[in-house]
Chain A
Amino acid sequence: MTLKECYAALEGDYDSVIGRLRTERMVQKFVLKFLNDKSFDLLVTSLDEKNYEEAFRAAHTIKGVCQNLSFTKLYESSNNLTEVLRSDYSPEVEGLFEQVKADYQQTVDAIQVLQATS
């Protein structure tokens, strides 16, 4: 799988990220690094513990990373969650989190394939 195909699989914007970070080598390095990022785990635990301040920061971090890497789909869902969490808890959080979870899985799956085949 090529990096470009990986971006297609996780519904990101390949052209944009290459435009900003310049080289495929650099983008690939950070895309693979995404697998080690603990922000999603932090999001899950802090939501479990109903620590919404921490959850906000975790969602915010995911959003920021996705923005940098042009993971458009995960960016959008994590952005939505961030904005809701900004003012503490609201019932929407559950649904938005499910979306983030699904998109995160999709992203991670795609990257794992990339890792395995490149």
Chain B
Amino acid sequence: MKQKILIADDSEMNRSILADMLGDEYEILEAEDGVEAVGILQKYETSISLLLLDIVMPNMDGFEVLIMMNKHKWIDEIPVIMISSESAPAHVERAYGLGIADFISRPFDALIVHRRVVNTILLYAKQKKLVGLVADQMYQKERQASMMVDILGHIVEFRNGESGRHVFHIRKLTELLLEYMIHHNIRPDLADLDVSLICTASALHDIGKIVIPDEVLNKPGRLTDEEFTIMKNHTLVGAKMLNELPFYQDEPLIRAAYEICRWHHERYDGRGYPDGLKGDEIPISAQIVALADVYDALTSERVYKKAYSHEKSIQMIVNGECGQFNPVLLDCLVDIADTLEKEMHDNDENTEPHINKDEMRNVAEEMFNREELTASERTLQLLELERMKYSFFADMSEEVQFEYTVSPPMVMLFALGAKKLGLNEIILDPLKDETVLAMSGPEGYKALSDALRSTTPEQPIVKHDQEIWIDGEKRWMRIIARAMWSQEEPPRYTGTIGKVIDIHDDRVKLDTLRQMASHDALTGLFNRRYAESRIKERMEARPDGRFALVIFDLDHFKDANDNYGHIFGDQVLSFMAEKLRLCIRGGDIAARVGGDEFLIFLEYKLDVETVIQRIFDSLIGQYEDFRISVSMGIAKTQEIGTEYEELFHAADQALYTVKRSGRGRYCFYDESMRDMLSVISSIDNDDDEETDSDKETDNNGKAAEDEADKEGEQ
């Protein structure tokens, strides 16, 4: 398969000249502007071997492409050769600062372009190989070195008949203790110690035992004083061996090993051997190895003893049954006791010292990249850091966060958000992207975009609720976004940052509450308060419309309650509401005002009377044994005007007139009724009825009607 080269240049001519030169050996991809180039890079990523990049291009120029490549770290893997007639030093410098491999000025020489392309691709391939090679070599070297030391240490243990694990245990314990102390800053003076050096040196602590005769070294019973003197000598012998090495005398490893060999049997109280050093006269490395040695001796089986448990061993050490140690060290030992037990056990399966291969690779790469950082690289690193923080918080927050730029038109999402919405992390030209459009029609995006564009730099934040398809389900989402305005005058809208929050469950709950607040529980019609606001809205929207407000109530409803009970009364009201719903038109408003009073608000063109007659007729009927008839008052905006309170009052007075004159009919308001009482005792305040509580019946608002009934009968 041919390697791929991407050519990004807005001139077709220029692209085809380059394609012609390289097409025989490479597969050529072409992009006619930066946005397309980024799209192709995103698609193919590192399977592109080289990018030939122009600077001046529409939508997104070459520098912006390089910035994107830095952002996504493609620049580390894909070499870029910039070809441009913009050969001003500032341009060239900036391009190199952004990480290009080479810069070719126009007019170019076919042979040179070809040669440089081939060289650059080879160079990058070689460098990648070399990084791997060096890492492998370093890994091997390190591994061999520590193997040699371990073998040496092990020889001694072998003679000693101890398990081969001893050297490894000492190394591990030393490492754990030292790292704990440094990490918790228990001994600030240790900060500069080379932990791995001391650990390696710890393996040599007993090399002096090589000269101790077998019968002393491996004696099962207690040693005699004489034998013990011989035994003690291993510290001095080991130290001497190291000291008399013909070479490496001044190596830090040898110095560390010397200290450990000589003094790992000293005691903190000064009663140890060979030199009787006391307290911190004993080097900390030797103190630690001594502690590690005792712990391992206790937990291992020896010719003269069985193994103690981990807990028992720690307890014995802390109680001072096995020597005297630095109290600080003992505290540390107790602190790491749990880790210690686990590490010792886990690592018994794998005794090879831990060398991290990835770490080696990093070191090797670091060596390749160790150049002075230029200012722009430093800026990019800072940017990268900010991006990292930002992306971390974005991922922690469970919210979908996004960034949108106008030019090039592009949306960027953080990984988690993209996954949640089932979108790519980068979407070019989002309004033409099928996956984006599948989530909501273009109107939704337009509304959001309009809202953002109509913000100001002072108040750039927009809250926008919208239904979005996610996983085949339509859910309410709230988009909180901040429009980005440029610094120039007048400011230009450059893009948006924002987040998307799922508010579906809250929204559904709110809708239910809203339904409950605006509707009458018994009949499901609007309640009075909500009807009022809807009516006001309607009249405001069409000040020149012709509207009529109708109030009616059931004649002799009190009888239904009295004769058949309140449950029956409620059934009658529900029955009425259903009838009402059936006889009004789609745009009309129907509500239960209270008790057995209902309200209708309707718009008409010419003849309102026909409409009223039809409604009136269809409301009359029978519910079981109860004969239904209604009294109805009507007020028209043409006469009263569009003031709701006055309209309501007028309809109410017309209703009162009907009631006085014998019920069972309807009547339009006219001037003669101006001074009438009203059926509904107060125009707009239900609470006033509370004061008349003694007169109230269960179907609230009856008191005034009873009054009217009485008057009507007079």
Chain A residues near B (Cβ < 8 Å): 16, 19-22, 26, 29-30, 33-34, 37, 39, 54, 56-57, 60-61, 63-65, 67-70
Can you name the residue of chain A whose Cβ is closest to the Cβ of B10? Answer: A61
**Which of A33, A34, A68 has the most chain B CB atoms closer than 10 A to its own CB?**
A68
List the 3 shortest-distance A-B pairs measured between CB atoms, nearest first: A67-B107, A20-B109, A67-B106
Q: Which residues of B in the span 76-123 have a Cβ within 8 Å of any Cβ on A? A: 84-85, 106-111
Main secondary structure of the interface of A (DSSP, over half): helix
A54 to B107, CA, bound (A): 22
Whether the Cβ atoms of B108 and A68 lie closer than 8 Å is: yes
A26 to B17, CA, bound (A): 9
Point out the residue from A57, A68, A69, A70 that lies within 8 Å of B56, measured CB to CB: A57
Can you name the residue of chain B whose Cβ is closest to the Cβ of A19? Answer: B109
Can you name the residue of chain A whose Cβ is closest to the Cβ of B106? Answer: A67
Can you name the residue of chain A whose Cβ is closest to the Cβ of B58? Answer: A57
CB distance from B277 to the nearest CB of A (A): 79
**B645 located at the interface, meaning its Cβ lies under 8 Å from any Cβ of chain A in the complex:** no
> Known interface pairs A30-B13, A37-B12. Does A64 touch B109 (Cβ–Cβ under 8 Å)?
no
A22 to B110, CA, bound (A): 7
**B440 located at the interface, meaning its Cβ lies under 8 Å from any Cβ of chain A in the complex:** no
Whether the Cβ atoms of B17 and A64 lie closer than 8 Å is: no
Q: Enumerate 29 A-B pairs (CB-CB under 8 Å) in ascending A order.
A: A16-B107, A19-B109, A20-B107, A20-B109, A20-B110, A21-B110, A22-B110, A22-B111, A29-B20, A30-B13, A30-B16, A30-B20, A33-B16, A34-B13, A37-B11, A37-B12, A57-B10, A57-B56, A57-B58, A60-B85, A61-B11, A61-B56, A64-B11, A65-B11, A65-B14, A68-B13, A68-B17, A68-B107, A69-B107
CB distance from B457 to the nearest CB of A (A): 23
Can you name the residue of chain B whose Cβ is closest to the Cβ of A37? Answer: B13
* B residues in contact with A54, CB < 8 Å: 58
Point out the residue from B20, B84, B107 that lies within 8 Å of A70, measured CB to CB: B107
A39 to B12, CA, bound (A): 10
Can you name the residue of chain B whose Cβ is closest to the Cβ of A16? Answer: B107
A14 to B109, CA, bound (A): 14
A22 to B114, CA, bound (A): 12
Main secondary structure of the interface of B (DSSP, over half): loop
* A residues in contact with B110, CB < 8 Å: 20-22, 26
Can you name the residue of chain A whose Cβ is closest to the Cβ of B57? Answer: A57
Point out the residue from B10, B16, B85, B111 that lies within 8 Å of A67, measured CB to CB: B85
Can you name the residue of chain A whose Cβ is closest to the Cβ of B107? Answer: A67
* B residues in contact with A37, CB < 8 Å: 11-13
* A residues in contact with B84, CB < 8 Å: 64
A34 to B54, CA, bound (A): 19
A45 to B341, CA, bound (A): 80
* B residues in contact with A69, CB < 8 Å: 107
**Which of B12, B13, B17, B58 has the most chain A CB atoms closer than 10 A to its own CB?**
B13
Point out the residue from A16, A30, A63 that lies within 8 Å of B85, measured CB to CB: A63
Whether the Cβ atoms of B17 and A30 lie closer than 8 Å is: yes
> Known interface pairs A57-B10, A57-B56. Does A20 touch B85 (Cβ–Cβ under 8 Å)?
no
Can you name the residue of chain B whose Cβ is closest to the Cβ of A70? Answer: B107
Whether the Cβ atoms of A20 and B108 lie closer than 8 Å is: yes
CB distance from A45 to the nearest CB of B (A): 14
Chain B window 300-338, contacts with chain A (Cβ cutoff 8 Å), 1 for yes, 0 for no: 000000000000000000000000000000000000000
Point out the residue from B13, B57, B109 that lies within 8 Å of A33, measured CB to CB: B13
**Which of B10, B11, B12, B106 has the most chain A CB atoms closer than 10 A to its own CB?**
B11
Q: Which residues of B in the span 4-34 have a Cβ within 8 Å of any Cβ on A? A: 10-14, 16-17, 20
A26 to B20, CA, bound (A): 9
* A residues in contact with B20, CB < 8 Å: 26, 29-30
* B residues in contact with A30, CB < 8 Å: 13, 16-17, 20
* A residues in contact with B56, CB < 8 Å: 56-57, 60-61
* B residues in contact with A67, CB < 8 Å: 85, 106-107
A57 to B57, CA, bound (A): 7
A68 to B13, CA, bound (A): 9
* B residues in contact with A61, CB < 8 Å: 10-11, 14, 56
A28 to B337, CA, bound (A): 83
* B residues in contact with A20, CB < 8 Å: 107-110
CB distance from B368 to the nearest CB of A (A): 34
* A residues in contact with B58, CB < 8 Å: 54, 57
CB distance from A23 to the nearest CB of B (A): 9
A35 to B445, CA, bound (A): 42
CB distance from A2 to the nearest CB of B (A): 21
A67 to B17, CA, bound (A): 12
- With A21-B110, A30-B17, A61-B14 known, 4 other A-B pairs at CB within 8 A are A16-B107, A37-B12, A63-B85, A68-B106
Whether the Cβ atoms of A39 and B109 lie closer than 8 Å is: no
**Which of A19, A20, A33, A64 has the most chain B CB atoms closer than 10 A to its own CB?**
A64
Can you name the residue of chain A whose Cβ is closest to the Cβ of B111? Answer: A22
